[in-house]
Chain A
């Protein structure tokens, strides 16, 4: 990943996001989301630096924003980022067992990534799906009515899908 390549990518993304905006400039957060999607679940520092060049925004300001919002990551994360809700409605409907089963099955704690780079486990605040609690999101997919068994099934499904895709 050369500096020039990163610069090109970031420049393109920024232009793309800006063109869809009514107010040019100040599309920082939308741009960061697009950059994160491109690099797969994280924003490398090279991209942040490129963004500084492209927009003229100081790097400190970019980092201020990057580190404040929980959905942005500055370090590499797994291909599938699991965000399990730990707010009250999920808690009182069996959320504890779901969290336990995730940690047990993946053998990682919150903030960690599995060795094969497939999964990162994170805790999140309420996802607004309380009607089907307990809930988790894996990247953009939502899974509800979770039980430890269901969690196992979902992880199995993803693992076998990844395996067949890599063949």
Chain B
């Protein structure tokens, strides 16, 4: 990685990275963000992450990426995940145990139907 020396270089990284954040040109139609702060991990987020990855694999879904992020601040309902699918508003789910994670993958990511009883927030944070 060559070191950055100018504003232009910085701007270029920003533009490319923004596309990644918004999933344009990335070849993916969606991503699942798992809140992996220590509080999330203490509530079982690692198992949730694994369950999501396994479930996506099982269903043969390869155009949805799974990424980790810091604490959303919603400690009470952890583990929490945010599902971003192209063309739809992001949904934050709470109390996502491995069993619920599987459910969300099947019903929402594959089936396109939001899982009503687990929603904590619709729309941008």
Contact = CB atoms under 8 A, between A and B. Distances in A.
- The reply to whether A and B meet directly (CB within 8 Å) is yes
Interface of A: 128-132, 135, 141-145
B78 A142 contact: no
The secondary structure that dominates the B interface is: helix
Interface residues of B, number: 8
A156 B76 CA distance: 26
A143 B47 CA distance: 13
Interface of B: 38-39, 41-43, 75-76, 78
A105 to B, nearest CB: 19
Residue from A130, A135, A145 having most chain B Cβ neighbours under 10 A:
A145
13 contacts: A129-B38, A131-B39, A131-B76, A131-B78, A132-B39, A142-B38, A142-B42, A143-B42, A144-B42, A144-B43, A144-B78, A145-B42, A145-B43
Contacts of B43: 132, 144-145
A146 to B, nearest CB: 9
A131 B75 contact: yes
B69 to A, nearest CB: 16
Residue from B38, B42, B75, B78 having most chain A Cβ neighbours under 10 A:
B42
A85 B78 CA distance: 19
